[in-house]
Amino acid sequence: MKYKMKSLKDSVKGYINSVNFFRWGVFVALFTITGGCYSVKSITPTENDVARVKDKYPGYSLTDLNRGKDLFVNYCGNCHKHKNPASKTEEEWTVIVPKMSAKANKKSLVLDENAQQDILRFVITMRDASR
Find the part of the chain contacting ligand HEC (CB under 6 A) among 16-24, 33-41, 56-64, 104-112: 104-112
CB of 62 closer than 8 Å to CB of 50: yes
Least CB distance from residue 128 to ligand HEC, whole Å?
A: 17
Least CB distance from residue 88 to ligand HEC, whole Å?
A: 6
In degrees rounded to 5, what are phi and psi of residue 78? -75, -40
Find the part of the chain contacting ligand HEC (CB under 6 A) among 4-12, 23-31, 40-48, 70-78: 70-78
88 binds ligand HEC (CB under 6 A): yes
Alpha carbon distance 109, 22 (integer Å): 37
101 binds ligand HEC (CB under 6 A): yes
Cα 85 to its chain centre, rounded Å, is: 10
Closest by Cα among 85, 68, 51 to 119: 68
